[in-house]
Amino acid sequence: MSFLTAVLSVKQGAKTLLETPFELKAHGVTALFGPSGAGKTTLLSALAGLIPNQHT
């Protein structure tokens, strides 16, 4: 059973996430890691609804 399934497209400044698919499992552990400036906070903000999803 999935907890969250989403396809995100976000442009914030020079950073862009284009049609990034996600499926997070219920009762699972998910790690998000990457170098500074890779868009981790932008991704989490989009998943939380703090940045509007521009996916059409």
**Residues with Cβ within 8 Å of residue 53, at least 6 apart in sequence:** 6, 8, 9, 10, 46
What is the full DSSP assignment across 39-56?
Answer: SHHHHHHHHTTSS-----
The two structure tokens encoding residue 23: 């499926």
Q: Is the pTM of this model over 0.85?
A: no
Q: How many angstroms separate the Cα of 48 from the Cα of each of 1, 16, 40?
A: 20, 17, 12
pLDDT single digits (tens) 14-34: 666 667 777 777 788 888 899
* Confidence class for position 35, pLDDT limits 50, 70, 90: very high
Q: Residue 29 half-sphere exposure, CB side, CA atoms within 13 Å?
A: 1
